[in-house]
Amino acid sequence: MKLKSSFWLAVATAATLLFAAAALAQTDPLPSWNEGAAKQAIVNFVQATTDRASAKFVPPEERIATFDQDGTLWVSHPMYTQVVYCLERVPKLVKARPELAKVEPFKTVLSGDREAIARLSTKNLLKILAVTLSGMSVDEFKAEAKKWLDSAKHPRWERPYTELTYVPMIELMKYLRANGYKTYIVTGGGQDFVRVYSEAIYGVPVEQVVGSAGGTTFGYDKNGRPFLMKDPKLLLNDNNAGKPEGIHLMIGRRPYAAFGNSTGDRQMLEYTKAGEGERLAMLVLHDDAKREYAYGPALGLPDTKVGAFTQALYDEATTHGWVVISMKNDWRRIFTFDE
């Protein structure tokens, strides 16, 4: 009898433990986040805004969350993925328009001199972007970008760029969606470029991608079939003040939660937090040199061209109650291939 009773006790204990583990797994929607202020801020925000009994309750139709992409949802170092794409398109472009070979900045790009390319001015980079992202139909662009993304690899990890998304942020997007939030990408990158993969890697449909956008021109091909041609003219520069402006243009609602990682996201976070009721603003700090990168003046590290997290931004975060996410401390796991 003694044996039998301890056997059943063991079974009961095991069952309890299993049940507790299952309950824990069920109740933790953010398993790749370490316990801490950042994770707690997210959970508190979701609970407060979705509880009908809470004064902070937000009606489902108003639940909008906006995410910067580069450096917030996926790796943006050492160079924005889309810039790599545009630079690698230059040879093809020059083949079609040989006169460009002798003209800057195309000449430098063709030289293959990495240091000289890295030194290109913003103005010259924008010129390359404008030319390589236009002059074709929106369907042709989509097909070309998709083909490139299927084969291009990040130099450090030697994996497709689309595998370099941050698991904790994907969990966060899913958690918000499970709680009735519409998740939008609000990127300084090209809207049409991000649309190519947003659904597949983030679960964000193309109509929920707000980005820098060139115009298009409606016309007819030689068979009389209507199509849209991509223009070099920029309609929306979805960076800095352009982010809240783009949010108003494309969404028409002020977000309740916004996520970024650099000075380009400052106005989006300010606009979000200026709304009434509970609002969440968070910034990803790249402080993990081992698993990803560590950069930015806020860490006393050198400034970078891309994704600058300045001291002023850090100070504003502190003043306004924005939550800084430390990649090193807040994220248990960064990439799917980390384990």
CB of residue 117 to a copy of itself, shortest distance in Å? 31
Sheet holding 226-236, edge to edge: 226-236, 209-220, 182-190, 64-67, 257-260, 280-285, 323-326
Of 150 and 199, nearer to a copy of itself (C-beta) is: 199
Type of residue at 179: N
Binding mask 94-133 for a copy of itself (x = CB under 8 A): ----------------------------------------
Of 92 and 320, CB closest to a copy of itself:
320
Per-residue DSSP letters for 211-256?
EEEEEEEEEE-TTS-EEEEEEEEEEE--STTHHHHHHHHHT-S--S
Work out which of 84, 130, 138, 234 binds a copy of itself, going by CB under 8 A.
138
Residue closer to a copy of itself by CB (options 28, 245) is 245
Q: Is 253 in the site for a copy of itself (CB under 8 A)?
A: yes
Residue among 120 and 213 whose Cβ is closer to a copy of itself: 213
**Residues of span 153-192 touching a copy of itself by CB under 8 A:** 182, 191-192
Which residue of 18, 20, 22, 274 would you call a contact of a copy of itself, by CB under 8 A? 274
Cα gap 195→233, rounded to integer Å? 19
Residues in region 305-324 near a copy of itself by CB under 8 A: none
Rounded to 5 degrees, φ, ψ at 58 are: -115, 125
Whether the CB-CB separation of 236 and 242 falls below 8 Å is answered with yes
Of residues 14-73, which lie at the interface with a copy of itself (CB under 8 A)? Answer: 61, 64
Say if strands 226-236 and 209-220 run parallel, antiparallel, or are unpaired.
antiparallel
- What residues from 196 to 235 belong to the interface with a copy of itself (CB under 8 A)? 199, 205-207, 209, 213, 215-218, 225-228, 235
Rounded least distance, CB 310 to a copy of itself, Å: 19
Choose between 78 and 135: whose C-beta lies nearer to a copy of itself: 135
In terms of CB distance, is 62 or 278 closer to a copy of itself? 62
Q: How far is the CB of 3 from a copy of itself (least distance, A)?
A: 57
Instruction: Give the pair of three-digit tokens for residue 280.
Output: 């969440």
SS3 88: helix
Q: Are 324 and 317 in contact (CB under 8 A)?
A: yes
Cβ-contact 184, 64 below 8 angstroms: yes
- Residues 76 and 66: their CA atoms lie apart, in Å, by 18
In DSSP notation, 274-298 reads: TSSS--EEEEEE-B-TTTS-B-SGG
Of 79 and 136, CB closest to a copy of itself = 136
Size of the site for a copy of itself (CB under 8 A): 37
- How many Å separate Cα 56 from the centre of its chain? 27
Minimal distance in Å, beta carbon 64 to a copy of itself?
Answer: 8
Binding site for a copy of itself (CB under 8 A): 61, 64, 138, 182, 191-192, 195, 199, 205-207, 209, 213, 215-218, 225-228, 235-236, 241-242, 244-245, 248-253, 267, 270-271, 274
